[in-house]
Structure 1
Amino acid sequence: MKTSSINFEGVHPTNQYAAEIVLGMRLSCEMEQLACQRHLDDLHRQATPDFPYVFDESRANRVFDWFERCCRHVRGPFSGELIELLPFQKFDLGCVYGWVHMESGKRRFRKAFHMRARGNVKSTEMSGLALYGMMGDCIYPPGDPSNKRYEDSPEVECAAVDKQQAKRVWLDAAKMGENSPDIGRRLNIKKTYVEHKTRGGWLRPLSKDTKNKDSGAPCLVIIDEYHAHPTSEILDVSYSGFGKRLQSLMQIISTAGKDAENSPCKREYDVLCKMMRGDIPMNETYFCMIRELEKDDDPHDESLWPKPNPILQEDNEYAEELRKQIRAEHDEAYNSGDPAKIREFLTKRVNRWQSDSENKYMSGIMDQWKALAVSRDAFFDLVHGFEVWNGLDLSKTTDLTGLGYVFRLPDGRYAVTAHGFMPEERATQHEHSDRVPYKQWAGEGWCTLTPGAVVDYSYIKAHMQKMEQDEFWFPKEVCYDPYNATHFTQQLEAEGYERVEIRQGVQTLSEPTKYFRELVLKGLIVHDGSPLLTWCLSNAIEVVDNNGNIKLSKKHKDDSQRIDLIAAVINAMVRAMVGDGRIDLNAHIMNEDFSF
């Protein structure tokens, strides 16, 4: 049958869109095809003992009507006009809100993950849904809209990584409500809060700085731009509040990001891709829609841009202007040759995940590193009673300081771990700039927050001594970067430690740096899974001289993507390799070349 001859008259818009994607009538990527096929398959098995859900068109139509009768655009060329949902939105919204339990009418999906490129009305859509969560969301038996049940004191959270981003959806929702007579009659919309006039509750922005994040019972949580979240804390805390409501829902929305190795959003993306492909069991209560430019697609081919930008398949003025803007950003990025601009284009405009740098030391093998981790207890059992080379990278006293430990095992492997130190008074500032959870890691024992505004080096010595006493580690040498370390290492020497200065030029550092990576590739390293060490390792940039020698560096001198712990490990590795047939250290020290 030719697709052009198909008659969709009377077919619900959600079902029609799914069919058009599966039949190839609309350009789409693999993940969108799988999502649409999932919907069609579910229609065939609905209301069965193994699948007690039904697609209730009235529930899907209810959210469509909400947008098209009550909600107005608050920015852009259509500002002030009622929102007219596009076909891809009717599919996404129809699935999330139309699938319900066949008996109770409770919503099937508890989580929904949406990825599409910038400019495809994500924020507008979520703002309208935030208001729907405050006013229109309800439960009723399938096909019986007359028997509605609303939640008392509805709670809607607009969550993001920081206050400014969290307020974006919240402010758009407030403005959308103010511009709608129907909504304005039912909600109190103030500068600092939104509440239902008769049922109370709240619509509020939520970020990591919000107090009492875990005190609510949310009906709806919107996680905005999840790719920017350094941890899953906001998502986890919000989701832990579920179960107190009849049909709580979490809407996660994002573009791709530039930290493919560390991002919790990328981890969620990876798991969902496996789920949609059938590599792991399907979570029947998790909706997934990923629209992206695929791995083998050419980002220069404009005809493929609608895959991550579904609006481009529509024939309207906004679609035309969006295409022009994407083309302009493409040309500027690639004509400039600036890697940062190219990565920005790829993540934001075609939804393709990127590593933060093309010169990453561990590019492509971070998964292998992570696979070599064992539990902390297993690690301590493995190295109990062993000699250890300690590595120091003291850095600035107001920043992160690294203490590395390297062990040579009898079977030819190396065991490594590291500990971080940071001044307690700077931890909050560094969490904001570095976008990693130092306080959480300190609570878990991966680093120490020392009192005051500068690192107290006595805590480093105390940590070394504690490990020696508790785990019977025998310190072989303290291998240190001489920067800022002379006085402290002299104190260690006075207490019986043997100290070795590690010159920081390539002739000393290149071979151990290459050897460390070789050990990872061969599976000859074991570590305790420290998230702080793993983060530092993933940040390290490889700098190469004209002779192919390498050393590690941050991307920029003042970059907040720190490498201190892996630098400390490499310092220890320099000496741990001696006697392993790998390095003539004395020759390197005597002939160190500081040119680079």
Structure 2
Amino acid sequence: MELAERYIDGVLSGAIPACKWVKLACQRHRDDLKADNSADWPYRFDPAKAEKVCKFIELLPHTKGKWRKRDPLNPTAHLLRLEPWQCFIVCMVFGWVRKSDGFRRFRQVYVEVPRKNGKSALVAAIGIYMLCADGEEGAEVYAGATTEKQAWEVFGPAREMLINRPDVKDRAGISVNARNISIIAKAAKFEPVIGKPGDGASPSASITDEFHEHATSEQFDTMVTGMRSRRPKPAGRRPARSPRRGRCPESGHGKAERVGSARRPADRHAGPGRLRGQQGRCPTAAGAPPHQRAPGHVLRLSAAQAAGAPLIFALRNA
């Protein structure tokens, strides 16, 4: 959490190049912390929950390049180390919970970052966490994309991480198979999905990579509606809707929702936490090298989803 706080300080002070939307996300976190003690504020930030996920991710190894190689003189050199912006995303998603039941505040996350910034490795590790450490019985985690090759860009590293950390795999009772990762004792599974998944899926977590390549939002929508069975609403039901068409329907094409307004009902901006990039792109600081480019963050809670356990990530390159 300390790393995330340093990142927030750097963004708000201008020391870290960041686009408008990242600055607003950081400011929202600080503003919402001030409201944490208010009796009518429905959320609280739990640093222990945020740090638990960060520590779990950093137990897992790199799967590519020079970072994969083990160093006898440094036994942890091959393990993942979260960058500050990655730590910020993880802490915001997993640290903010509802006071009423402890479920997550944010359940839909849209992330835009420049290429080769490690987003696939990050969400692969999050997928493993959601499979074995989130406390969800019968967890179903899906790595979705438009092609099998793209789906394996997330699922493949997840397999490699577990194969190369047998201690983590064995302690969680995980079986790594050719086409899926499973925990037989908990009836849990993590597997790739291409195109529109079947209606029988009941995902506890879904990762949609390269979201802008999807012709419609069909896969995303099917995952969201399938999650309702995890925490059904006490009453009422929304009718099914037609898939949205066009590239990257959730990236904010054509509009940018207001963020940081003083007029924000607790169940709208601060509850749903809506933050969208403009025209599906995240502006970067002019001339900034790739490792300093500002990632775009969208943390959005869908009113159609009933509770905090299910989680869905949509990703694209900026």
Partner amino acid, structure 2, of 1:269: G
| Structure with a larger share of its residues in helix | 1
With the length of structure 2 as denominator, give the TM-score of the two structures.
0.76
In 1, are the aligned partners of 2:175 and 2:183 still within 8 Å (CA)?
A: yes
* Equivalent residue number for residue 190 of structure 1: 177
* Equivalent residue number for residue 90 of structure 1: 87
In 1, are the aligned partners of 2:251 and 2:276 still within 8 Å (CA)?
A: no
How far, CA to CA, are the matches of 1:240 and 1:267 in structure 2? 16
Look up the SS of the partner of 2:292 in the other structure: coil
* Equivalent residue number for residue 219 of structure 2: 234
**Structure 1 residues 107 and 90 mapped into 2: Cα distance closer, same or farther (>3 Å)?**
same
How far did 1:110 drift? Answer: 1.2
Partner amino acid, structure 1, of 2:248: C
**Residue 110 (structure 1) aligned with residue 107 (structure 2):** yes
Partner amino acid, structure 1, of 2:188: G
* Equivalent residue number for residue 180 of structure 1: 165
Gaps of 5+ in 1: 1-10, 138-149, 248-261, 311-346, 352-596
* Equivalent residue number for residue 201 of structure 1: 188
Look up the SS of the partner of 2:109 in the other structure: strand
Partner amino acid, structure 2, of 1:64: C
How far, CA to CA, are the matches of 1:271 and 1:98 in structure 2? 31
**Residue 223 (structure 1) aligned with residue 208 (structure 2):** yes
Match of 2:36 among 14, 24, 46: 46
* Equivalent residue number for residue 333 of structure 1: none
* Equivalent residue number for residue 119 of structure 2: 122
How far did 1:303 drift? Answer: 5.8
Alignment of 1:488-507 (within 5 A): none
Partner amino acid, structure 2, of 1:123: S
Partner amino acid, structure 1, of 2:146: V
How far did 1:16 drift? Answer: 3.0
How far, CA to CA, are the matches of 1:160 and 1:303 in structure 2? 29
Look up the SS of the partner of 1:269 in the other structure: coil
In 1, are the aligned partners of 2:63 and 2:161 still within 8 Å (CA)?
A: yes
In 2, are the aligned partners of 1:219 and 1:245 still within 8 Å (CA)?
A: yes
Look up the SS of the partner of 2:26 in the other structure: helix
* Equivalent residue number for residue 76 of structure 1: 65
Look up the SS of the partner of 2:227 in the other structure: coil
Partner amino acid, structure 2, of 1:22: L
With the length of structure 1 as denominator, give the TM-score of the two structures.
0.42
**Structure 1 residues 62 and 270 mapped into 2: Cα distance closer, same or farther (>3 Å)?**
same
How far, CA to CA, are the matches of 2:276 and 2:126 in structure 1? 17
How far, CA to CA, are the matches of 1:104 and 1:37 in structure 2? 25
**Residue 292 (structure 1) aligned with residue 261 (structure 2):** no
**Structure 1 residues 308 and 76 mapped into 2: Cα distance closer, same or farther (>3 Å)?**
farther
The CA deviation string for residues 196-240 of structure 1, in whole angstroms up to 9 with x for no partner, is 142122111112265x2x212211111111010110000001100
**Structure 1 residues 89 and 39 mapped into 2: Cα distance closer, same or farther (>3 Å)?**
same
How far, CA to CA, are the matches of 2:119 and 2:138 in structure 1? 26
Look up the SS of the partner of 2:185 in the other structure: coil
Match of 1:306 among 292, 295, 300: 292
In 1, are the aligned partners of 2:258 and 2:275 still within 8 Å (CA)?
A: no
How far did 1:266 drift? Answer: 5.1
**Structure 1 residues 83 and 305 mapped into 2: Cα distance closer, same or farther (>3 Å)?**
closer
How far, CA to CA, are the matches of 1:270 and 1:206 in structure 2? 25
The CA deviation string for residues 393-449 of structure 1, in whole angstroms up to 9 with x for no partner, is xxxxxxxxxxxxxxxxxxxxxxxxxxxxxxxxxxxxxxxxxxxxxxxxxxxxxxxxx
* Equivalent residue number for residue 323 of structure 1: none
Look up the SS of the partner of 2:257 in the other structure: helix
**Structure 1 residues 14 and 287 mapped into 2: Cα distance closer, same or farther (>3 Å)?**
farther
How far did 1:122 drift? Answer: 0.4
Partner amino acid, structure 2, of 1:95: M
* Equivalent residue number for residue 274 of structure 1: 257
Look up the SS of the partner of 1:132 in the other structure: helix
* Equivalent residue number for residue 23 of structure 1: 13
How far, CA to CA, are the matches of 1:289 and 1:198 in structure 2? 39
Partner amino acid, structure 1, of 2:15: M
In 1, are the aligned partners of 2:22 and 2:294 still within 8 Å (CA)?
A: no
Partner amino acid, structure 2, of 1:166: A
In 1, are the aligned partners of 2:117 and 2:291 still within 8 Å (CA)?
A: no
Gaps of 5+ in 2: 70-77, 233-244, 297-315
Partner amino acid, structure 2, of 1:21: V
In 2, are the aligned partners of 1:17 and 1:87 still within 8 Å (CA)?
A: yes
Partner amino acid, structure 2, of 1:163: E
In 1, are the aligned partners of 2:256 and 2:276 still within 8 Å (CA)?
A: no
How far, CA to CA, are the matches of 1:180 and 1:97 in structure 2? 24
Look up the SS of the partner of 1:113 in the other structure: strand
How far did 1:302 drift? Answer: 4.2
Alignment of 1:123-202 (within 5 A): 123-137=120-134, 150-185=135-170, 186-202=173-189
The structure 1 segments of at least 4 consecutive aligned residues displaced by more than 6 Å after TM superposition are none
In 2, are the aligned partners of 1:112 and 1:287 still within 8 Å (CA)?
A: no
What is the number of residues matched between the two proteins? Answer: 270
**Structure 1 residues 204 and 121 mapped into 2: Cα distance closer, same or farther (>3 Å)?**
same
In 1, are the aligned partners of 2:163 and 2:169 still within 8 Å (CA)?
A: yes
Of structures 1 and 2, the one with the larger relative CO (CA 8 A, separation 6+) is 2
Larger Rg: 1
How far, CA to CA, are the matches of 1:184 and 1:200 in structure 2? 15
How far did 1:25 drift? Answer: 2.1
How far, CA to CA, are the matches of 2:147 and 2:34 in structure 1? 43
How far did 1:42 drift? Answer: 0.9
Partner amino acid, structure 2, of 1:48: S
Partner amino acid, structure 2, of 1:155: E
How far, CA to CA, are the matches of 1:89 and 1:82 in structure 2? 15
How far did 1:79 drift? Answer: 1.5
How far, CA to CA, are the matches of 2:213 and 2:246 in structure 1? 8
How far did 1:129 drift? Answer: 0.6
How far did 1:12 drift? Answer: 3.2
How far, CA to CA, are the matches of 2:153 and 2:90 in structure 1? 21
How far, CA to CA, are the matches of 1:47 and 1:187 in structure 2? 40
In 2, are the aligned partners of 1:162 and 1:209 still within 8 Å (CA)?
A: no
How far, CA to CA, are the matches of 2:146 and 2:37 in structure 1? 39
